[in-house]
Structure 1
Amino acid sequence: MRAIDLLNGRLKLRHLVLVVAIAEHGSVLRAAEHLRLAQPAVTRSLREVEKILGVELFTRGPRGVTPTLFGDAFIEHARAVLAELRRAGERISGLADGEVGTVTIGTLLAGSNVLLPRAIAALKASRPGITVIVREATFDAQVPRLLDGEIDLILGRLNPIGEQHGLRQITLYGEPVRLVARRGHPARDRRDLDLAALLDYPWVLPLEQTELRRELEQVFRAEGLVPPGDLVECTSVLTVRTLVRDTDMIAALPELVARTDDELAPLPVPLETVRRQVGVTLPAHRAPTPSARLMLEHLRREAAAITS
């Protein structure tokens, strides 16, 4: 197969939509239901794509389908093409009236409980026709979706990046990370409370692949301590707050998260070496859509209001 063969008109846009749907739903049947098509039609179209490409895109099994090596590569490009087409349509619409569109935000723990809701409320007040989609995941999991256009920006603690990653970052404000516990936590009655003493209690920590988790483990090692063994790994702010409120668990949370919950309070054990910058991560070489640009403006305004 030559690359030019994909431009001769045989490969259709519907083929890209279909392949991505099969990958996302894990089966031809579920993809057909999602696309509101008959299963034989989806199967036939999949065979057309595979014939055009000259390779098998999925392996069939009793529980559905799994992308092959060729499938993974084609799906990645298909998603990028569809994302760019969606962006093109939104940009034309946004340039026409600035009243409709979609902005998809990948959110991390920091910024998700105060800044983001305020910015969304401000955006919706001025542009009710814009749909806002919020997706929560780790930074590493969000970056590929950011680069292929499935999300418009990532909001949270800024991770160290380089231009070679195709990303750029905008700092919005500084926010310390605090060790927090419920107000009636027994550790508050201990004299000379330090990090070593807190290891007597269970912890809830971010997932291992997050930058905050790596920084926290460095704090323990700098004190000559082994990181907590009795722990829960979680990045959901709602779950973390509930666990800390209802148990003796200790968590490292952005200061604004603790400040907005009357049942939580910081512990007098500082985390001086943990980075504090909260901001937005964007693709380096792609301009934001009109809707994303409006969202970014409101994030900047609300961040300024929070820190003023």
Structure 2
Amino acid sequence: MLPSPDSLSTRLKLKQLRLLVAIDDFGSLHRAADELALTQPGATKALREIESTFGNELFVRTSQGMVPNELGRCVIRYAKLIQTDVTHLVEEMEGVLTGIGGRLAVGAIMGAVSGVLVDAVTRLRRKQPSLRTEITEDTSVRLLALVESGRLELALCRLSVARQPENFVYIPLRDEPLTIIAGPTHPLASTPSLALADLADCGWIVYPRVMPLRSLLEREFKEAGLPFPAHPIETASMTATMLLLQTDPNLVTLMPRDMSDFLIEHGLAIRLDIDVRSRTEPYGIVTRRGTSLSAAARLLIDELTNSAKGGADGYR
């Protein structure tokens, strides 16, 4: 029989949840006990109490150590979320009590980093210079997982890849125009009115298959009646892409315009004169539904929406 929410809130203790996370981290009750400064009998008793509360065992005892079962993985995921929320509570309390500071963890897809996030964070830090800001750049899929787990308070990404979009609140922010760029010494750098066929002999840097921009580029080649490049370099790393363009003058890549504008402005790339007909899905601000956002997060959303859409009153 499953415990009721009231039963869990009455019987569970934060230190018990820390024990579950530690066992998962170390694979050992003994090492988890050492980490939390518990005696071995005390840790054993605490684990029995936790499993009694849930009415089920949470770990499988193996020769390699303790491994969470399916229910254990579920409970540990929420235990980590609760720990994160407690940490955020303390940090937000600090910001409330002092009137400054606090912590903000935000993520963004590559195009949104240079497109809107950096400028918004810069403006926010002028107003809140003691704010501790953590920025994560990743794919939409991974950013959504981080938002859902509480690791990020908000992310700038696409919601269409979410398995359970109902778990999130989404504010559309802006489109993401695309360009094809190359290194500054590319042979086609000054050639006007290029077609995709003109790049058939070029080496390509492409996004991994799980990313929407990879599917978009594949569609461009298909609609042009061309085979997709046979031996591309696959990476989602902006740093790797930038360095590859500098070292191999034959390479080209598809990139969000905001990011390519930065590279072109600093002489690190050139834009090839070719139209990209396909359009990407707009990205937006994603937060976890049912979460009370910190003051810093609300201020950042204001900065983002005031510059792009004009307001985020739905979060107040």
Q: TM-score, normalised by structure 1?
A: 0.80
Structure 1 pair 176–85 and aligned structure 2 pair: CA distance change class (3 A): same
Structure 1 pair 201–159 and aligned structure 2 pair: CA distance change class (3 A): farther
How far did residue 96 of structure 1 move? Answer: 4.2
| 1:135 is the counterpart of 2:136 | yes
Aligned to 1:71: 72
Distance in 2 separating the partners of 1:34 and 1:251: 51
Aligned to 1:3: 3
Aligned to 1:282: 287
Aligned to 1:180: 181
Distance in 2 separating the partners of 1:298 and 1:100: 17
Distance in 1 separating the partners of 2:34 and 2:305: 37
> Gaps spanning 5+ residues in structure 1: where?
none
Structure 1 pair 178–104 and aligned structure 2 pair: CA distance change class (3 A): same
Distance in 2 separating the partners of 1:244 and 1:30: 51
| 1:256 is the counterpart of 2:261 | no
Aligned to 2:14: 13
Distance in 2 separating the partners of 1:220 and 1:34: 58
Matches within 5 A, 1:163-178: 164-178=165-179
Structure 1 pair 94–37 and aligned structure 2 pair: CA distance change class (3 A): same
Q: Is the 8 A contact 2:19 2:36 kept in 1?
A: no
SS at match of 1:119: helix
Greater RCO (CA < 8 Å, at least 6 residues apart): 1
> What's the CA shift string for 1:122-148, capped at 9, x where partnerless?
322322332111222211122122123
Distance in 2 separating the partners of 1:66 and 1:207: 32
| 1:149 is the counterpart of 2:150 | yes
Distance in 2 separating the partners of 1:42 and 1:108: 45
Question: Segments of 4+ in structure 1 off by > 6 A?
Answer: 189-192
How far did residue 164 of structure 1 move? Answer: 4.6
> What's the CA shift string for 1:52-100, capped at 9, x where partnerless?
44313355464x6543212221122223333444454455554444423
Q: Figure out how many residues of one structure are paired with residues of the other and give that number.
A: 300
SS at match of 2:73: helix
Q: Is the 8 A contact 1:204 1:251 kept in 2?
A: yes
**Percent identity between the two aligned chains:** 22
Q: Is the 8 A contact 1:80 1:149 kept in 2?
A: yes
Q: Is the 8 A contact 2:242 2:268 kept in 1?
A: no
SS at match of 2:201: coil
> 2:275 is matched by which residue type in structure 1?
P
> 2:100 is matched by which residue type in structure 1?
E
SS at match of 1:297: helix
How far did residue 30 of structure 1 move? Answer: 11
Aligned to 1:200: 201
CA RMSD of aligned residues (A): 3.4
How far did residue 240 of structure 1 move? Answer: 1.8
Q: Which moved more, 1:82-91 or 1:225-234?
A: 82-91
> What's the CA shift string for 1:168-198, capped at 9, x where partnerless?
3334444411111112112447686322332
Q: Is the 8 A contact 2:101 2:131 kept in 1?
A: yes
> 2:181 is matched by which residue type in structure 1?
V
Distance in 2 separating the partners of 1:186 and 1:90: 53
